[in-house]
Copies of this chain bind each other. A is one copy, B any other.
Amino acid sequence: MWCKRADMIVHESDPYNAEPPRAGLHETLTPADSFYVRNHGPVPQLDAATWTLEVTGLVAEPVRFTLERLREEFAHHTVTATMQCAGNRREGFLEVRDVPGEDPWGPGATSTARWTGVRLADVLRAVGVQDSAGHVEFEAPDVSEIADPPQHYGGSVPLSKALADEVLLAWAMDDAPLPAVHGGPVRVVVPGWIGARSVKWVTRVTVRAEPSENYFQATAYRVLEPEADPDAAGPGDGISLGPVALNCDILAPEPGQAVGTGEVRILGYAHAGEDRGVARVDVSADGGHSWQAAELGPEPSPWAWRHWETTVDLAGPGPHTLVARAWDTTGACQPESARTLWNPKGYVNNSWARVRVNQAGDQG
């Protein structure tokens, strides 16, 4: 039975949406009770013994798999991968304008686990993919009232990604059965892509010529133009999100924390999806005027975040604004301000991380 950590930040109870506090993200692997949860409808309670997966569409012949059959017919693989919601760090847009929903996501809509299952590629090749295939759609039995019209949750990835070694149909998280809230009995894991494509409770995989027409692929999870009306946006509008953009945040100290004078330890995470890696993280203790390189922790896998840490010298009187920014393996750096990234649905805030701390004794 899965239990959430006591201090989980619950954004919504029904459907259940929650992120851990910064303190819940200090470890390379995020414990299941701290792992963020993003749902669009009630959590389906599926029985692993009766769960089936239909693989259909542009295939040689549709096949229905039980979990037992998946486990027996295909090699098992484990991938350490970071999930990240496209709305991670949305609260940073509040400095620009109001964003959709109350109490927007902070820096905790991202977490990392070891996922175990079978390669989607192995299953697709066993079933046989037709030459006209271009995309692979995943569908779940949950019904989302958020969608217009209400519908099952779904989404797709291009065939080239679906056939990549790292994409799994996973039944285990950190070597334990996948909890229902995290997609059990079986979910898709698409490392390097926004969490929305790692469809939970997957019961149907459809090979298609074109991307999914599901609301959460065609309309949601899209970066609209700055002045667009999100309520008027329809299928195909905006930039469809897929691979995860370079991002980082500060995990300690906490915003508003009273810190001592002298050296203060600062740590955080950084992540870049798909073919990019985190190459350097800079930290500033003076709001971004001067920088020092943080020490990068090990890369747990090509598909996971990297933690980083360093100490900064807070010599003068507070408050101080600590800033962090990551550089990726293309030599690109995060943009400075959420102001320049504003989009009406509040996605991909990958601006520099800022945490204001007080010096011990301050009232500010």
Using a CB–CB distance below 8 Å, which chain A residues touch chain B?
86, 223, 225-227, 239-246, 273-276, 279-280, 282, 288, 290-291, 293, 325, 327-337, 340-341, 347-348, 350
Given contacts A275-B275, A293-B225, whether A243 and B348 have CB atoms under 8 Å apart is no
Contact present for B243 and A330 (CB under 8 Å): yes
Contact of A340 among B86, B240, B333 (CB under 8 A): B333
A239–B232 alpha-carbon span in the complex (Å): 43
Contact present for A282 and B242 (CB under 8 Å): no
Contact of A350 among B239, B332, B336 (CB under 8 A): B332
A290–B340 alpha-carbon span in the complex (Å): 11
- Other A-B contacts than A86-B331, A239-B327, A331-B347, 16 sampled, CB-CB below 8 A, are A223-B280, A225-B280, A227-B290, A227-B291, A239-B279, A240-B329, A243-B275, A243-B276, A243-B330, A245-B328, A245-B330, A245-B331, A274-B275, A274-B276, A332-B350, A335-B336
Residues of B within 8 A of A331 (CB): 86, 223, 239, 241, 245, 347-348
Of chain B, the residue at the smallest CB distance from A223 is: B331
Contact present for A329 and B243 (CB under 8 Å): yes
- Most B CB atoms within 10 A — which of A86, A239, A330? A330
Of chain B, the residue at the smallest CB distance from A276 is: B243
Residues of B within 8 A of A330 (CB): 241-246, 273-274, 348
Contact present for B291 and A226 (CB under 8 Å): yes
Of chain B, the residue at the smallest CB distance from A337 is: B336
A325–B290 alpha-carbon span in the complex (Å): 26
Contact of A291 among B223, B225, B275, B328 (CB under 8 A): B225
Q: From DSSP, what is the main secondary structure of chain A's interface residues?
A: loop
A234–B47 alpha-carbon span in the complex (Å): 59
* 20 pairs, CB–CB < 8 Å, chain A vs chain B: A86-B331, A225-B291, A225-B293, A239-B280, A241-B330, A241-B331, A243-B330, A245-B328, A245-B331, A273-B330, A275-B275, A331-B348, A332-B332, A332-B348, A333-B340, A334-B335, A335-B335, A335-B340, A336-B337, A336-B340
A301–B274 alpha-carbon span in the complex (Å): 20
Q: Sorted from nearest, which 10 A-B pairs have the closest CB atoms?
A: A331-B348, A245-B332, A245-B330, A239-B279, A335-B335, A223-B331, A243-B330, A275-B275, A241-B331, A336-B340
A227–B276 alpha-carbon span in the complex (Å): 25
Contact present for A242 and B329 (CB under 8 Å): yes
A241–B282 alpha-carbon span in the complex (Å): 17
Residues of B within 8 A of A223 (CB): 279-280, 327, 331
- Most B CB atoms within 10 A — which of A223, A290, A335? A335
Of chain B, the residue at the smallest CB distance from A291 is: B226
A335–B327 alpha-carbon span in the complex (Å): 12
Residues of B within 8 A of A273 (CB): 330
The smallest beta-carbon distance between A84 and chain B, in angstroms, is 11
Of chain B, the residue at the smallest CB distance from A325 is: B340
